[in-house]
Structure 1
């Protein structure tokens, strides 16, 4: 009797388990059916939407004709370029190693104003200023042969030719701080000249402006339009005595606010009317030192001093 009761209970449990698993299978199947129905609805909606668009494929850039016309109006040529690369450098000169002004993204549209003679580089008006873009990575709305040739307006450049390492300094003298370094073969844009032809002012591939010695580079291009920019570089005062007193004003009786050490160079930011004192900057702030105790590096004429 007891055994029969146990067997009956076991049988009922087995039936309950079978029905439970069967229900779970049914629910799972129903879930799959619902998912398939939703997926079919999404695909059907997409097909209808694509059908409404027509048989013509969408272009890889969504630039309206009105937008192109508005940009073309910014230049005399009426020609625009549409960028096809993910990112395209705008360079100061039509060379692969020319200094970069910035990067244009894919589908950007820029007005064109010129080209080089062989049509491999295009001059454009960009958010970073006027620069050059590689013609291989753009499409245009018109024949680029209609663009004016700008070879005669290309910035001169210099190539590091005599040394494995060249320092680029803040000013045209070894006393100025180093702002960058160049390797043999590097190309840089030349933007200024030295009045004594000892240095040239350049812009490095990293966009830093500075000076290199003329004998370290080979310069190419027309230099006639470049300024003698050494005349406006901040001059230096190199201290020529031990612990020179820095005073609050150009007066031997003015309070001492600091000391300038032998051999250290300081920026000159002012000159006294009689030329006897120089105003310099340092960890003491701004102060004045006697000119006869320093070696001046650079040009003081920008402060109105001619002697």
Structure 2
């Protein structure tokens, strides 16, 4: 009896590896490794600050570094309110930051509309001259500015900080870049319907500028909150100190409450971190649509 043979399919040949795909995988792995190392290097000081806020003064600068507090001194987060004017510093800083942010949103968006959507002689020259002030360091005109604020009677008041920071060339530049991405046909149609330029800015352009406004608000709030040199010069009355100046007062001539300074620093960073996490999506969208991306 003849044996029956079944035809079996030949095993598939071994798949060849694509060298380009391998290089892409290696490049991606290297990129992620570099990003993880960079993120760890950036977060290390913050981690050390949080850990130091849970130590006493003698444990903060021990060698080698004690990365985990043993034991954790949670009492620091209670003592900071009793041994300092933390509540007043936070309240003053919050009030100043919100006021400056709202004013910069108004002045920056209003001026940017004029530069982006209106035509008048010398517009481009005026815009370049105004934006050029960004390249001038504040230290170059700090003394004349202080003399001006003193003669106006605003020194040693919060009004000095508000007047100095209510206008910003960067905010005008950021908003102008975004406004130029809005189709001009919308403004032309509104003009035909009889709307004034103020109404067009308020009723049409501003509602479309959410991402750019959120970006400007976040940057302005963070810069105002973290400002140290400005309040140091103008706010000499302890009753109107911001948190940055207040934390400096914990360092005396003969002693320094480093544990409380770290605790106060953690409390001062928390609002900024929360606001940034909540507005991160709008921040990235605003940067991408304002022509500032790399």
User: More strand per residue: 1 or 2?
Assistant: 1
TM-score of the superposition, structure 1-length normalised? 0.17
TM-score of the superposition, structure 2-length normalised? 0.18
Query: Larger Rg: 1 or 2?
Result: 1
